[in-house]
Amino acid sequence: MKRIILHSDFNSFYASVECMMHPEIAHLPVAVTGDPQARHGVVLAKNEIAKQYGIKTGETIWSAKRKCPDLHTVLPHFDEYRRISQEAFALYNSYTPRVEPFGLDECWLDMSAPGMTFSAAEEFANMLRKQIKSEMGLTVSVGVSFTKSFAKLASDLKKPDAVSVISDTDYTEKAWQLPCEALLYVGKSSRRKLNEHGIYTIGDIARMPQEIMRSILGKSGVMLHEYANGRDSSQVEYAAAAHDVKSVGNSTTTDHDLTTRDEVCAVIYSLADKVAGRLRKAELLCSTVQISVRDKNMVTTEKQIKLQSPSDISNEIAEAAMSLFDAHYSAEITPVRALGVHTTQLTSSGENHQTSLFEDVEKREKLSALDSARDKLRKKYGKSMVNRASDVNI
């Protein structure tokens, strides 16, 4: 079976999250930095606009401001980055448990399956890219390839918001012309040593006799030689991640403020339906439902509620989310700009659960049957064919 591996990488992650949280700065050159008062404050991340001024990660704020006097600097919010990272991994995990994180904002996904082709994988990668953009308001670059190292390389080929493929038939053409430091694990000092031996591109590495590569860089020289020739059998390490899905959620930013309960209700039902569908697909049940509400003043708050018994039923999750909204918010008083429905305390649906004495067993079974009927129809006819009555475009 052909291996198909994706590498998904958020574009300018920290800076993009900051711009998403503060749309009023999104059109400015933005850098996330250490404390500007500290003498050694440096740039931790920058957005695309700041990049055009030649600002580099790791340079001092002082030097960055010299290149771009109007640079808008913000302090990092790591809790927020971690929260969004978890949301992204939950989304990846809803498609496959074979997800290996590489830092907060990157991961590999092993999409190998009988009959899976590069073009089908490319289509999937584009769907994933669009879903992340519409649900999370952030962009990713996705690489599709047959080894982890080439998948990572492919995700760097085109940014932002793009998909690139390096296949087993075109890697000599697409990868070999790139500078050697584009390859995973070629850092500054390896690059210098390689350059000293007249090795400048990935193709140069690939064409070198392996023993020469060993004499230059030892074991890692051999490894790089294998990578450059498309021989990287390292697996997507997912065992820990599969059991580590802490939450499944969806959120959306609406293009106008929601000012009535009905509008909020429509969005919450639609989000809850997506979330519940993902839980069912991953064979998970949730015990806690959480909503996040961003109001028109860009203040985000979260509320959560424990369910009577673990659930993957669209209607139950939607009702719980709506009860939270009704208890804590009013769209008529404070219009809503973004909504999220998240589920946590997840357990495998294969496990036996103690059912609550109070629940209406018959009603639950009916709702559950309805959901699985809709799941089947969706699988057969595509997502858009079978929507809940409350699905509206807002």
The whole-angstrom separation of Cα 150 and Cα 156 is 10
Two tokens, residue 317: 């999750």
Task: Identify the bridge partners of residue 294 per DSSP, sorted by sequence position.
Answer: 300, 338
Q: What is the CA radius of gyration of the chain?
A: 24
CB of 11 to Mg ion, least distance (A): 6
Two tokens, residue 185: 């694990």
Task: Please say which residue, 10 or 238, places its beta carbon nearer to Mg ion.
Answer: 10
CB of 31 to Mg ion, least distance (A): 15
Task: Please say which residue, 65 or 152, places its beta carbon nearer to Mg ion.
Answer: 152
CB of 84 to Mg ion, least distance (A): 12
Task: Please say which residue, 9 or 110, places its beta carbon nearer to Mg ion.
Answer: 9
CB of 103 to Mg ion, least distance (A): 8
Task: Please say which residue, 139 or 190, places its beta carbon nearer to Mg ion.
Answer: 139
Task: Identify the bridge partners of residue 165 per DSSP, sorted by sequence position.
Answer: 144
Two tokens, residue 241: 């991640």
Give the amino acid at 374: R
**Which entry of 18, 87, 106, 263 is annotated as an active-site residue?**
106
Q: Is 384 exposed, middle or buried (0-12, 13-18, 19+ CB in 10 A)?
A: exposed
Task: Please say which residue, 15 or 289, places its beta carbon nearer to Mg ion.
Answer: 15
Task: Please say which residue, 19 or 346, places its beta carbon nearer to Mg ion.
Answer: 19
Nearest by Cα to 368 from 311, 284, 307: 311
Residue 87 falls in the annotated catalytic set: no
The whole-angstrom separation of Cα 109 and Cα 394 is 32
Task: Please say which residue, 10 or 118, places its beta carbon nearer to Mg ion.
Answer: 10
Two tokens, residue 16: 């993009």
Contact present, 184 and 102 (Cβ < 8 Å): no
The whole-angstrom separation of Cα 59 and Cα 98 is 36
CB of 106 to Mg ion, least distance (A): 6
CB of 277 to Mg ion, least distance (A): 28
DSSP string, 81-139: HHHHHHHHHHHHHTT-S-EEE-SSSEEEEE---TT--HHHHHHHHHHHHHHHHHHHS--
Q: Which residues bind Mg ion (CB under 5 A)?
A: 9-10, 13, 105
CB of 13 to Mg ion, least distance (A): 5
CB of 198 to Mg ion, least distance (A): 32
Task: Please say which residue, 9 or 87, places its beta carbon nearer to Mg ion.
Answer: 9
Q: Is 282 exposed, middle or buried (0-12, 13-18, 19+ CB in 10 A)?
A: buried
Contact present, 19 and 74 (Cβ < 8 Å): no
The whole-angstrom separation of Cα 166 and Cα 175 is 8
Residue 165 CB contacts under 8 Å (≥ 6 apart), including other chains: 118, 121, 122, 143, 144, 145, 154
The whole-angstrom separation of Cα 236 and Cα 258 is 42
Catalytic residues: 106
